[in-house]
Chains A and B, each alone.
Chain A
Amino acid sequence: QKEVEQNSGPLSVPEGAIASLNCTYSDRGSQSFFWYRQYSGKSPELIMFIYSNGDKEDGRFTAQLNKASQYVSLLIRDSQPSDSATYLCAVGGGAGGGNKLTFGTGTQLKVEL
């Protein structure tokens, strides 16, 4: 059974700091990795996806993947109060659409003024 583990938090960081969110997964066959942001009472929205080992940067966000360690992380630079939300890590078996994803329980991030 696929498992995706995240620290539930809350993770508190001051405004302008770097927030580091971590996720581990159990299925070595996993091929696609996603980070979603979910505000309270809302549905998840995609932040980033990554398929290959290494780093992938998009604006203030950087996703890092290490398949050997079964570890994926999300860095948020210059954190803003609007980044305060729950961040869900999701893992899938492969790219190509219609993906069945397994979600972690999410890490709550609080960016403090």
Chain B
Amino acid sequence: GAVVSQHPSRVICKSGTSVKIECRSLDFQATTMFWYRQFPKQSLMLMATSNEGSKATYEQGVEKDKFLINHASLTLSTLTVTSAHPEDSSFYICSAGFRAHTGELFFGEGSRLTVL
């Protein structure tokens, strides 16, 4: 199967700072990547769809100015949490689809963000 790599796996930051999370497709080109957030004991909630070379599409209730997404190449999408607050502490997971496959998503390892 296709491989999606996410970095960093864990990050701790102070309130008010910004954190960048990278998502890379290692062995395929991903025109579309998805960013999810998961709080403890809850399911994955889609935050936004990242499209290579164009603006991301955000889900209702997700602040686009707070969660900046950049998909500058076919193998890299980044999520920047700006002015982070403790309530942003969560597990952030990226995923990518590959057209030649059957439609399933391949997930990165996830990034656990803790905002102090």
Contacts and interface: CB of A to CB of B under 8 A. Distances in A.
Interface of A: 32, 34, 36, 41-46, 49, 51, 88, 90, 92, 94-106
A34 B101 CA distance: 14
Given A32-B104, A43-B109, 12 more contacts: A34-B105, A42-B109, A42-B110, A43-B93, A44-B44, A46-B106, A97-B100, A98-B97, A100-B49, A102-B46, A103-B43, A105-B42
B97 A43 contact: no
Contacts of B110: 42-43
Contact of A105 (B43, B96, B97, B102): B43
Given A88-B44, A103-B43, A96 B103 contact: yes
Q: Interface size bucket, B side?
A: 20 to 34
A97 B103 contact: yes
Contacts of B109: 42-43
A95 B97 CA distance: 10
A94 B97 CA distance: 12
Interface string B78-98: 000000000000010100111
A97 B99 contact: yes
Contacts of B49: 100
23 contacts: A32-B102, A32-B104, A34-B104, A43-B6, A43-B93, A43-B110, A44-B107, A46-B1, A88-B44, A95-B103, A97-B32, A97-B100, A97-B101, A98-B30, A98-B98, A98-B99, A99-B97, A99-B104, A100-B49, A101-B34, A103-B43, A103-B45, A105-B43
